Chain A
């Protein structure tokens, strides 16, 4: 009796696997000769360039010091490392032999030309929303790039994830294909923004929480997530930004990397902003309009009140600890402070941070960055703050932008923890951080990978 039950179970299992295997099967799409550049309309290529900038393709498909789009960038996931692939039109190692149909299938279903499943580190759960026309433009752009011969690196994943069928199982559970459906009650600009945010921009890949199998939790879209060792703040009503984001502030931030009511771009958002500088201006505006709407309808008077209160708080909290930068005098001490030896957060702030982060407006090269307005300082989790203190902020090679020096070699862990406590108490109305020491340990262990995007 038992054995009949076991045999029946095995048969059911085999049938289920057979059905899954048949479901996941994808035929190879015949290779093509790499299309010549002149076969594409230059206007479509230019459109593709602007869209590729929205999609940040170059970021994950270019390794540090590597040729654009030739792959090799390590995408860190909680499961292991997946390397961005070569998407230059080299026929052997890139996608030169891919027809537009094969390219479209890769974006929509996460399948290579040969029919192999791609891991969802390639965000096809977002790209599946992209229209045929936009895919054509992206194809035209990529097929007219310089072909680079560079072999793809196999992913570094543990068993059983190293088996490609696991990606198919993931899709069975989590991939819902289908194009973006416009919301008729909203403006064309809003819909354009929603389309780009959900599709090519794949903003949710970092800004939405993921479940234990790495799929975005669609019931909590844009409620904040993690990416590349950083916290990606919530974009919806849970946004930790002290001043509520407006479309204009978001546009300034996304297009130029600085919003005066928030601060400078940092971390993995830095390459995103570099890319968005090359997207079409109207598309960046549309994304800003859409994201500004995510917290939902708000009472205008209340919003104004919150903004005013946050700006006022930030201004009042900026201590004038350094009167002016001087080579001859010591730092001025306006008020007597209690000193607690080498791990006194207030003293560290005064000596290490205040010359840039004070409110006096005497900074010769930039404007003071008010920490009371800073999202990292006001986030629930100290990860981003710790990252910035350790590594600083640096423009990409050959780019200009603000520099904040890192303090990894200068301050000890105990001093960074004391500084975190001081900055949080001084510049945020939220309660003290917990887990600062653990966060610091994790940040030491997991340095940030650098992209070689042009």
Chain B
């Protein structure tokens, strides 16, 4: 049995310790935000945060997680009460097919926790590991900037500093 702390809830998981986290999130815990894109750490659709660091959950065996804090899009807010990153992505209509968007939102969240007001260049640089095949990059850029404003307005900026 392995204990996983996902979005603040503890889960007991009975799976092979080598199983990538993504499969456990989706198949065991039914948290379907993180997506399987390539399974090779090339596309970023599976991005989640582990202790506030963006990681590819398709390449992360659950054995290594060992009580670390996992955050997925489900932890950013709910359908009824979306969080600032979710509201910004909705407002900017950043999704076309939407498959990459959960990964994009998690990486954006990680960026904004480090840098409350990133420049366009910093956003491009930080978001580079995540791919979008529809080409909605300009909207994603806008959504990240928008999210930064929402977070700053709500006092969520530099959240990571506060949690230290």
Contact = CB atoms under 8 A, between A and B. Distances in A.
B134 interface: no
Contacts of A407: 59
Interface residues of A, number: 34
A325 B56 CA distance: 15
Interface string A323-361: 001011111010000010111100110111101100000
A282 to B, nearest CB: 35
Contacts of B19: 330-331, 351
If over half of A's interface residues share one DSSP class (helix, strand or loop), that class is named, otherwise mixed; here it is loop
Interface in A223-280: none
Given A331-B18, A415-B64, A352 B59 contact: yes
B66 interface: yes
B61 A350 contact: yes
Given A341-B66, A342-B66, A405-B41, A410 B56 contact: yes
B18 A365 contact: no
Nearest to B24: A330
Contacts of B62: 351
Nearest to B49: A409
Contacts of A405: 41-42, 56, 59, 129
- Range of interface residues on chain B? 20 to 34
Contacts of A355: 39-40, 58-59
A348 B63 contact: yes
A411 interface: yes
A321 B19 CA distance: 11
Contacts of A430: none
Given A327-B23, A410-B55, A352 B42 contact: no
B160 interface: no
Given A351-B63, A352-B61, A333 B16 contact: yes
A226 to B, nearest CB: 28
Nearest to B54: A409
B95 interface: no
B36 A365 contact: no
Given A327-B26, A409-B54, A410-B55, A365 B40 contact: yes
Contacts of B36: 327
23 contacts: A321-B18, A327-B23, A327-B39, A328-B23, A328-B27, A329-B23, A339-B63, A342-B66, A347-B18, A347-B63, A348-B61, A351-B18, A351-B59, A351-B60, A352-B20, A352-B60, A356-B40, A365-B40, A405-B42, A405-B59, A410-B53, A410-B56, A412-B64
Interface of B: 15-20, 23-24, 26-27, 36, 38-42, 50, 53-56, 58-66, 129
